[in-house]
Structure 1
Amino acid sequence: MSETRTCNPAAPSIFTEQVAELVAIGAAIAANCEPCFKYHYDQARKLGVSDLDMRYAVDLAQKVKETPARAMLNLAERYLGKSTSETKAAADSCCVTNPETQAGHCK
């Protein structure tokens, strides 16, 4: 049997303009959207949001974003074995090398 949740109309909303900007900052991090981050950072500053609160939003967004990426890497490692230091170094760089042609390009 599923639980039915009801909204408490007497409860005040905590979703202020400041909270909305923190959420938008987190979404910008998740979307890798530099213009979005800059815009919402500026908006949050105008609303008096502290750098510390913005840092919390960024850190939390990054943790949420990294979780599925880490899970996919773990899956690949289970199928293919642990990566070598050489492939890890390549993965950590900005340039991706095509193993067939040894040609690299930056994203």
Structure 2
Amino acid sequence: MNKQTKELIAVGASIAGHCQPCLAYHTVKAKEAGLTEAEIREAMEVGRMVEQGAMSAMREFSKTVFGTPAESAAGCCPGAAAPGTKKCCG
């Protein structure tokens, strides 16, 4: 994978991951790699679409969590993850 492609992916991932320092860094690196502003903005838009899709799925999932006992709910705290889910932060 060439440097331009890597930087476009990093720009989109920065948007989707809500990482402002990452976005600032990778925008500069993308320009240094010879990408145009239009190309970088397109990668930003793709990142926004990914983020919106993930948020839509999270909104739907959040409607189901009240049926999960607190001691087995997945999260950033000790304990087991809910069946069929991944633990957060680990």
TM class, shorter-chain normalised? 0.5 to 0.7
Match of 1:28 in 2: 14
Give, as a single letter, the amino acid of the residue that structure 2 aligns with 1:38: A
> In proportion to residue count, which structure has more strand?
1
- What's the TM-score once normalised by structure 1's chain length? 0.52
Match of 1:61 in 2: 47
- What's the TM-score once normalised by structure 2's chain length? 0.61
Give yes or no for the alignment of 1:37 onto 2:2. Answer: no
Q: Which runs of 5+ in 1 are unaligned?
A: 1-14, 78-107
C-alpha change, 1:76 and 1:28, in structure 2 (3 Å) is closer
Matches within 5 A, 1:26-105: 26-73=12-59
**CA distance in 1: counterparts of 2:33 and 2:49, whole angstroms:** 25
Higher relative contact order (CA 8 A, sep 6+): 2
Secondary structure of 1:60's counterpart equals helix
**CA distance in 2: counterparts of 1:28 and 1:35, whole angstroms:** 8
Q: Which runs of 5+ in 2 are unaligned?
A: 64-90
Runs of 4+ off more than 3 Å? 71-77
Task: Output the aligned Cα RMSD.
Answer: 1.9
Aligned residues: 64
What percentage of residue pairs aligned between the two structures are identical?
A: 32
Larger Rg: 1
Secondary structure of 1:68's counterpart equals helix
In the TM superposition, residue 66 of structure 1 has moved relative to its aligned partner by 0.5
In the TM superposition, residue 42 of structure 1 has moved relative to its aligned partner by 0.5
